[in-house]
């Protein structure tokens, strides 16, 4: 089989790249280790930056997002019983859209299937060949049968545990990592959200987040030890702890109910450099991971797709290699800024085992400064809605 771009991974970043390329007449094949149902069963955050919204529009996949997504002009931040609002729209002229990653991925699948896009599922033994040459290829097996794709470029959208990053020799790549000493216990419930905007809460008992999927589906998180397991927390225990961590007036309004999904996510920051080796390009979790604080995971993947798509488009349409040659440098500059924001926001809201009394006082002083200083709120708002590409 031959194609122009072989894409490894049929999550949102791989599908978005494939759809954008298709709209410019550039052929691609997408390889996925799991099934479509498995990919759609993954629960992820759904706060979309302005850049990702624009990419979905360019991909022709934005109709349902605009019809069903929730436009958020700001967010709430609390510490103790104090709560204040950061006005994204007022400070930047731009909101964010809350739209579940599962739904966004479903829209992209629908578009690729309607266009007859080539997606192969349950592929195994994926190996990238000749990435440092002008004629790369990808071999794999499906149901025990060996297959091979000859291509011009390979896009590694296969996540942290995929083969793409590991294809780059250890002598070439350098990895940076920070592991946080806690996780997030998340609960999904068929209950109305406690507030029409997200609430990020700092409390003496640890961080909490109140978010939503729609008017009748809420997503809540609390900071917990990494040694905990979801089964250690009953629904009653979770709701009681959440109420202790959010302002009293919000706790009084909280509607509780049975959890329909419960999981614990560890927090870490990770970046690998470079994000390009020859004709292999890393995108999304294959190259970097951010803590979920500030909802940058999907959005950083989208910024990678922006740079790669435009580089490939210029290569095929104009014969210019400038975009693909500068891909890693451009992508990493924006990734490190997103890493900084997620690190700062996480440091502002969580309780750390090593924190001293002085550290806690500084944390509150930082929160009060953010509450009272318009310049600080402007900086937060610009990062939250997404820095320009």
Q: Write out the catalytic residue numbers.
A: 72, 200, 292, 296, 384
CA dihedral 18, 30, 45, 303 (to 10 degrees): -40
- What ranges make up the beta strands (E) of 163-275? 174-189, 199-202, 208-214, 217-224, 259-273
CA distance 279 to 134: 7
Copy the structure tokens of residue 78.
């609390």
How many CB atoms lie under 10 A from the CB of residue 140? 21
CA distance 232 to 81: 28
Whole-Å CA distances, 4 to 1, 22, 147, 379: 10, 11, 16, 40
CA distance 266 to 291: 8
Residues in CB range of 79: below 8 A, 6 or more apart: 201, 202, 203, 364, 367
């Amino acid at each position: 089989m031959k194609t122009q771009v072989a894409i490894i991974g049929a999550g949102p970043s791989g599908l978005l790249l494939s759809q954008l390329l298709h709209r410019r007449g550039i052929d691609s094949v997408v390889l996925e280790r799991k099934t479509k149902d498995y990919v759609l069963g993954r629960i992820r955050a759904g706060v979309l930056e302005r850049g990702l919204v624009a990419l979905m529009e360019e991909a022709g996949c934005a109709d349902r997002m605009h019809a069903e997504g929730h436009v958020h002009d700001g967010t709430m931040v609390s510490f103790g019983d104090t709560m204040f609002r950061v006005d994204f729209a007022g400070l930047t002229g731009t909101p964010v859209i809350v739209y579940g990653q599962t739904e966004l991925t479903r829209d992209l699948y629908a578009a690729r299937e309607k266009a007859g896009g080539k997606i192969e599922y349950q592929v195994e033994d994926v190996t990238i060949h000749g990435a440092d040459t002008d004629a790369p290829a990808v071999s794999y097996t499906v149901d025990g049968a060996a297959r091979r794709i000859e291509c011009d470029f390979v896009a590694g959208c296969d996540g942290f545990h995929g083969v793409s990053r590991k294809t780059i020799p250890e002598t070439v790549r350098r990895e940076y990592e920070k592991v946080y000493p806690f996780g997030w216990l998340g609960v999904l419930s068929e209950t109305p959200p406690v507030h029409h905007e997200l609430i990020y809460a700092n409390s003496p008992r640890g961080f909490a987040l109140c978010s939503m999927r729609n008017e009748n589906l809420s997503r809540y998180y609390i900071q917990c030890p990494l040694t905990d397991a979801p089964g250690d927390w009953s629904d009653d225990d979770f709701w009681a702890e959440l109420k202790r961590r959010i302002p009293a007036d919000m706790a009084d309004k909280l509607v509780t109910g049975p959890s329909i999904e419960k999981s614990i996510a560890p927090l870490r920051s990770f970046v690998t450099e470079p994000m390009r080796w020859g004709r292999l390009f890393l995108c999304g979790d294959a190259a970097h991971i951010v803590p979920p604080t500030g909802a940058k995971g999907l959005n950083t993947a989208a910024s990678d797709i922006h740079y790669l798509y435009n580089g490939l488009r210029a290569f095929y349409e104009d014969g210019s290699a400038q975009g693909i040659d500068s891909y890693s440098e451009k992508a990493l500059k924006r990734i490190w800024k997103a890493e900084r924001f997620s690190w700062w926001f996480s440091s502002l809201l969580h309780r750390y085992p090593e924190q001293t009394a002085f550290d806690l006082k500084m944390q509150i002083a930082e929160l009060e400064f953010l509450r009272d200083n318009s310049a600080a709120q402007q900086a937060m708002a610009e990062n939250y809605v997404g820095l320009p590409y």
